[in-house]
Structure 1
């Protein structure tokens, strides 16, 4: 244990555990855990590429835990699992072409999209309370394929709001909030692994930090996903709107003051 921790002190270890648990608890339901885990890693002095790469290690493990919990509860559809390769490929490509568009342009676009998503979800008060689809038709299936690849590409390319966009997409296809969250986690996991491969190949991962945070994320993801499955849409919907609003605030802050 001492060799693995190296220069890490126990205060840093405790900080990583708490940050990992809280971020995974939120992320397991509606995404957005990176709002907590990435700044936590940056506050420890990690350069941005290392913070992002290390976060992908922990977040991928947390996402896998959430996927297993939702799957066992029957809240992930086979159609969503069939889409995961597209998310993986899209994310890997997105991470590869990450420098094609200016970051500020991406932030402006994402703020506009997140605002539209939040307003639409808020106005439809009973949206996602009950599922309205049993099987996707051809048109919906084509749309789902495009969504999986496009949002996967975005996750590898930029990232913020991926969980919100995926849940919105599955809600639009007719799934209830909890099933949409489960399906979203399956695709989010695949896209996260795709990006993780790119970070690992570039060598921008602090493995000791990542493994410690990942262990905490396993526990947080178990508690978070069980809470979502137990409480249903009455719990997931307000949390979804809260995290989406925080994402909007974060992006606006970075546009105006950074």
Structure 2
């Protein structure tokens, strides 16, 4: 691939925009992956390269949220290695099974998430989380592992799914966003390692986009912390809507 100024600008601009959104509610892949495809990367390499860049971005926003006190380190610290392993498993399966298999299910689940969020007007405005019973804790962990597996397998909407799962158990939108980014970093790293092993990462393009994503993630997390819960809720609805439309379009194609 020939390098020129236009290509570098595309990588930087779209990487920043993707990370700004992804730093709070996920969905940045809607912007960054098409940008990588547009500059000529093969689909598998575009996905692997996006994982490299987004891993830097999710780490940046995760650290920002941790420093702001919006992350429950005891909870996500225990979950981190399991999400990582689940993502590796999902990425491994992706090399054998077409991603289109999950598309209809993803559309249905995202639609349910969207409807539920719109109906529950005050949902996520305050934190009501309490220690879960053993039964609920098992279900909660199982759901998070499935999301981690899904991120390795397909990926679109992972941040939204993590956020929704945390909201269900009583986190407010802002703390849910912070915890979700740490878990999303775990799933990004797991999938990235497998893409690296398979040789599906363009390190030159990936590292340039990673630099812009670090800046975008920091700016996005900073903006979310200043604007508060209301901003995160609105962004969550907008991104989830975009994910539904994108998945329907891909499925019909």
Paired residue for 1:168?
Answer: 164
Q: 1:52 to 1:137 in 2, by over 3 A?
A: same
Selected match of 2:38 from 38, 43, 68:
43
In structure 2, the partner of 1:247 is 243
What TM-score, normalized by structure 1, do the two folds share? Answer: 0.94
- 1:1-258 aligned within 5 A: 7-78=2-73, 79-99=75-95, 101-256=97-252, 258=253
> Residues 87 and 153 of structure 1 are in contact (CA less than 8 Å); yes or no, is this contact kept in structure 2?
yes
Could you tell me how far apart the structure 2 residues matched to 1:95 and 1:106 are? 14
Structure 2 length-normalised TM? 0.96
Contact 2:99 2:153 in 1 (8 A): no
CA distance 1:229–1:137, change in 2 (3 Å): farther
Show CA shifts across 1:51-87 (max 9, x none): 0000000000000001000000011112122211111
Structure 1 consecutive aligned stretches of length 4 or more whose deviation exceeds 4 Å: 99-102
Aligned mates of 1:185, 1:140 — CA distance in 2: 22
1:160-192 C-alpha deviation (Å, 9 max, x unpaired): 111111100000010000111111111110000
Residue 141 (structure 1) shift: 2.4
Which sits farther off after the overlay, 228-237 or 26-35?
228-237
Q: Unmatched 5+ residue regions in structure 1?
A: 1-5
Two-structure CA RMSD over aligned residues (Å) = 1.3
How many matched pairs? 252
Alpha-carbon distance in 2 for matches of 1:39, 1:66: 22
Distance 2:237 2:157 in 1: 12
